[in-house]
Amino acid sequence: MPALAIWSPEDEVLGAVAPLALGAAAGTAVVVDVDPSGPRYPGDMTLARLVADGPTKADLSPQRSGVAVIANGGIDAEDAEEVLRALVNGWPAVVLRLPADHSGDGGAIPVLPLVPGSILKRYPGPAVYQRSAWRVRPPQGGVVLPRPRPGTVGALLSGRAPHLGDRWLRAWRRVWDHAWE
């Protein structure tokens, strides 16, 4: 499976939970936060520590199925390029969480809330659209996700494995299969 880079410029909670959901949808994946100001994901491993100490063989490939999460730890992506390449080469699926102020270039996939009106910026090209309480017609060319169950979001943000049969997580699988070109 490829590596996918995602970012959510409009919703901080969506920006924190979307990479975890995308990783869970892959089955076995590593989620790497490349935002030095990113969320404090549960766990001890950070990208900054991997760069400083050098990754071990165990860091560079899955030791079991499921999702591994590597918080940022305060390092810029440019300073971690070698480690990021090694992770992409060793894991079956890699999710890169980009900062909310990412420019949107380089093939990164925006994850946007589907809300009424036009006050939020829309990005050209395909995107992942998260349904909300409003019935809004989604733009063409992207993946539209159903509303998540609170328990699923709570599990992901707490570092617990959600129920993998969850409808929202199943919908995230389409993101891996979508033609993002």
**Cα 174 versus chain centre, distance:** 14
Position 137 confidence tier, pLDDT thresholds 50, 70, 90: confident
pLDDT for position 61: 93
Provide the residue type at 146 as one letter.
P
Q: How many angstroms separate the CA atoms of 135 and 158, rounded? A: 29
Beta bridge partners of 71: 46
pLDDT band at 133 (very low <50, low <70, confident <90, very high): confident
Each residue of 80-120: pLDDT tens digit? 999 999 999 999 999 999 999 988 777 899 999 988 876 66
Answer yes or no: is pLDDT of 1 > 60.
no
Check whether 134 has a pLDDT greater than 90: no
